[in-house]
Amino acid sequence: MTQFDYIIIGAGASGLMLAEALGKDDFFSDTSILLLDNTSKSTNDRTWCFWEKGEGQFDDIVSKTWRHIYFGGHEVSKRFDIDPYSYKMIRGIDFYEKYLMRLNNYPNITFHQESVTQVEDYGNRVLVSSGKNQYSALKVFNSIFDYKMATHQEKYPVLQQHFLGWTVKTKSPVFDKDQATYMDFSIPQKGNTRFMYVLPFSATEALVEHTLFSKDLLPKKEYENAISGYLKNGLNCDDFEIMDTEQGSIPMTCYDFSEHHTENIRYIGTAGGWAKPSTGYTFMSSSKKVPMLVEYLKTGKALDQLSFKNKFWFYDLLFLDVLAKNNGNGHHIFETLFKNRDPQLIFKFLDEETSFGEDLAFVMGCPTGPFVRALLGRVL
């Protein structure tokens, strides 16, 4: 059995961010680290977007930036200037290539392509088994996510942000390359929260996604019909070629993932509850949590004692309660919010950076009735 100080399971967003943060920090230069993933991370399996003020640490791999977003609804349809924010996009493959390449600079970090089958904390060592090998480590960081982690309980609703997207190339110019369509609710809701999300790269090329915030996935055909319907009816385009596809599901829940941590095993990324419950955005949230985890590691304290829970957890909980109770209400909530409040406040709130006064301003911009009922449901 080969021994390491740390093992990171999963070389996705959170695993690679953590490996890089440990690798570049002199404090860990004598720490042996094994990174395991069951894939070679050589495909472009996802597109990450996030908003950010000014320059950021990922700018060299950002492939497209928008300074405007579009929100489409039944009553309000508007283009917003989001200055000082911009909406940035990273292709998964660019991130994997850059981060795996960087790890070559750190002689204490080894990457193996192996599928992990078991992880067990024996108190003084953690045993990690793959189909090929057994390893032991003092600490393990695990990013393997399974919905069963959250769905075994009923205290907190578990919704999904689920979507299917096509990168399309059109014959004639149909997209506005200067604005990302953040949410377009001008499509049939069918009792759910359904919207289109469009990332245009040029007037003739864009990633167009049909997205839902709801409990259950749809048959593949339904996402596809919604995309072609939107291109035809919403954008007046029926002559296009599908260049690429992407599909995903991100958990939206306030379930406390920390129940799975132990003294020596820490779940990270989506598996650690780092996906923002009310939006599914996880990339920037991971980039903010990794440095906090690294500083915490230096204290030598038990891994299950670090908590990221704050007041925003409760706001997210009320939102998810509202959405789970009446899933068709989502478009009304978002439309009211975008009618009453600037995207700058919305982004700041979703980044969990607002003061209590700003929280109130945000909440008062939403339809209050459903949230008051959700609040009473939780406190009474």
- Name the residues that contact ligand FAD, by CB under 6 A: 9-15, 36-39, 46-50, 115-116, 143-144, 246, 248, 250, 269-271, 281-283
Rounded to the nearest whole angstrom, what is the least distance from the CB of residue 201 to ligand FAD in the complex? 15
Q: CB of residue 216 vs ligand FAD: minimum separation in angstroms?
A: 17
CB-based closest residue to ligand FAD: 12
- Using CA atoms, how far residue 263 sits from 36, 224, 258, in Å, is 21, 45, 11
Distance in Å, CB of 143 to ligand FAD, minimum: 4
Minimum separation from the CB atom of position 130 to ligand FAD (A):
7
Interior angle at CA 301, CA 299 and CA 304, nearest 5: 135
Q: Least separation, in Å, of the C-beta of 233 and ligand FAD? A: 25
In terms of CB distance, is 243 or 372 closer to ligand FAD? 243
- Decide whether 167 or 371 has the Cβ nearer to ligand FAD: 167
Quote the strand ranges of the chain, DSSP E.
2-9, 33-37, 47-53, 62-66, 68-72, 77-81, 85-91, 109-113, 116-121, 126-130, 134-142, 158-170, 179-184, 194-202, 205-214, 240-253, 265-267
- The nearer residue to ligand FAD, 292 or 372, going by C-beta atoms, is 292
| CA separation for the pair 145, 143 (Å, rounded) | 6
| Residue 99 C-beta: closest distance to ligand FAD, Å | 11
User: Least distance from C-beta 282 to ligand FAD, angstroms?
Assistant: 3
Query: Contact at 8 Å (CB) between 188 and 74?
Result: no
Task: Please answer whether residues 108 and 30 qualify as being in contact, where contact means their C-beta atoms are separated by less than 8 angstroms.
Answer: yes
**Residue 153: which H helix or E strand, with range?**
none
End-to-end, the C-alpha distance of the chain in Å comes to 53
Write down the least CB distance from residue 166 to ligand FAD, Å.
13
How, if at all, do strands 265-267 and 134-142 pair? parallel
User: Of the two residues 218 and 237, which places its CB atom closer to ligand FAD in the complex?
Assistant: 218
Alpha helices in 230-299 (DSSP H): 283-297
Closest CA to 267 of 121, 89, 91: 121
Q: What is the DSSP string of 78-90?
A: EEEE-TTEEEEEE
As a whole number of angstroms, the distance between CA 61 and CA 44 comes to 13
The smaller minimum CB distance to ligand FAD, of residues 39 and 172, is found at 39
In whole angstroms, how close is the CB of 376 to ligand FAD at the nearest point? 32
Least Å distance, CB 375 to ligand FAD, is: 27
- Residue 32: how many other CB atoms lie within 10 Å: 17
Nearer to ligand FAD, 206 or 237 (CB): 206
Q: Where are the alpha helices (DSSP H) in 112-154?
A: 148-151
Residue 50 or residue 371: which is nearer to ligand FAD going by CB? 50
* Rounded Cα gap, residues 349 and 359, in angstroms: 7
Which one, 38 or 340, has the nearer CB to ligand FAD?
A: 38
Q: Please give the Cα distance from 50 to 88 (Å, whole number).
A: 6
Q: Residue 278 or 374: which CB sits closer to ligand FAD? A: 278
Cβ–Cβ under 8 Å, residues 348 and 354: yes
